A and B are shown apart, each in its own frame.
Chain A
Amino acid sequence: MIKVTIDGIELEVEEGTTIMNAARKIGGEVVPPAMCYYTSLKGSGGKCRACLVKVAQGSAKDPRPMPKLVASCCTNVQDGMVVLNSTSPEVLETRRGIVEFLLVNHPLDCPICDQAGECELQNFAFDHGLQKTRSEFHRREFDPIDIGPHIKLHMTRCILCYRCTMVADQLTEERVHGVLWRGEASEISTYIQKAVENDFSGNMIDVCPVGALTDRHFRFRNRVWFLNPMDAHRNCSKCSGKVVLWMRGEEVYRVTARKDQYDEVKEFICNECRWDHYDTKDWVVEGPRAVEKWSVITANKYSKETVELPEQLFSKLDNAKWDSFEGVT
């Protein structure tokens, strides 16, 4: 175990932990934003530069600061390292620049985009970006293309995080899409619009931090904040079967995997669960999903506190040992 200080908070982590994961152990404001890093995908991270942090002291042995800001998702901690995230004005200033760079080619059409409301780039730009765009240049544009019967790719919105290619490499047997060209001209594409058809290809949509890969069945039909996310599961031979149903009334609009607080999917779901069961009878609905209070998805709905049912509260009281109250009558 080694000691590391992040934003003045000291903690002990195992050797080989990245700064990002060490910060996530503390949680809250200390956690740097991430656009491309994805815990369950090997080799992800280091591309978007959103998670840059300042290392004020390299280690206990060599207390010199690191000369430049480092990407926290792919830099390992060292014993006695001192990291500054939101307490460093230099980091915040740089993040403002990163937002501008990410938005150089990203269209500002959130009113149209399906990802709005659960978009990592939208949250990132809201927290760190400027109110106005300074870029006067024409953004690159592509026509949306259908890759397979389920997925639509709109390259205009892509920020080249490479997550979807990693899903194809690590989750499915064969990858038929990838990144073509280089540098500024690079784009995600399939070879001559080949269909992406694989049992786990739908997870590309979930890992996409922006609205570049969208569900063709759900596309433009509704806004996420009008839907009620419900935890549900079913017996599935291919995957865990644990999903979120996005419902309005009795109608299921879409099915997604469960995302954690860092917008990461831990248990990927198969395409059968995602697209073949739009009937609530096929699912065991567990109840409304707890949504972070700041999220727009909670608009006009319940908050995290009200989700707790009375029975659950009573069982909590039971656990608190009534014996200690015996003297009170």
Chain B
Amino acid sequence: MDEALLRSLTPAVLGILVRRGADFAAAEDAVQDALVEAIRVWPADPPRDPKGWLVTAAWRKFLDATRAETARRRREDLIDAEPEAGPAQDTDDTLQLYFLCAHPSLTPSSAVALTLRAVGGLTTRQIAQAYLVPEATMAQRISRAKKTVGAVRFDQPGDVATVLRVLYLVFNEGYSGDVDLAAEAIRLTRQLATAIDHPEVSGLLALMLLHHARRAGRTAADGSLVALAEQDRGKWDTRLIAEGVEILQAALAQDRLGEFQAQAAIAALHADAPRAEETDWVQIVEWYDELAALTDSPIVRLNRAVAVAEADGPRAGLKALAELDDSLPRYTAVAAYLHERDGDDQTAARLYVEAAGKASNLAEREYLTRQAARLNRKSPPHP
């Protein structure tokens, strides 16, 4: 059975139910039930018109569910009112769904869960597994999210930036359990890009593709992290890189720069270097300057310090670093790296150990500990 097709139909089917007068929460439940039934029935009995099948099944689920609470007359009105939805409306519906599921009244975790279910067509169980929480907890999170956006009118225009932040969060969660969240984020961003022409949507899509292209090179066989400079660039997916670069160039040509386009430009410059030593660090620093002007994020200035070190030498990098708050996440890790580049192995080793203690994930802690161990063997600390 084509699960990708099934899931790609989800937002359009949901949109049709809402346009027929179902409220969002009930319609979303009905579509989820129809998806579960499709997964059960389709392998043995594939429908000729998958979308029509889903609409019919979801509408029946909706009517069954509302039978108890809705007066018979109201139900008959709804059945009489069934309009046929055209393709143009599908696109609008899909876009409205993205806006609704990323509504600013939702917390990030609720917006992510609702987007993956209502737009992505994932089951509650799959989402729960991906985020390592019990299914009941995820069901509750989704149900509360739907209540929160219950009063939002479906035709209200939303803010693309909030949608992009949600998709970025999904992408950055990576891969855990049965669901490849990075691939799912790319699929959802592609779908969004067909529903709306916006340079930052393209920028985010390009950013995702350019990072996804490096996935095979980012971890060693034992699962440990491989630093960008050490990665086997032969493992990078050149087709994804080419696609990312093309999408980015088209976005930049619109001359409406945003943070995702700037981040994608940096990723593209890395992807463009056949060897780490050939990286155009001067241009990367310029893009970090653009990015810092757009976001004023201290994390951006931290990454900029690394780029400055590569472009103008470790001393310049350390000088840029000294202007930042040393309580920033990964500050100590960056300091360790720059001291190593500056030839001060002992300071670097000490800082790597300190940074390992502050790491926010196991892979990073192991990576930093390895760096300390390597330097300690090379130049043992004074007694």
A and B are partners in one complex rather than unrelated chains: no
Chain B contacts to A: CB under 8 angstroms: none
Chain A contacts to B: CB under 8 angstroms: none
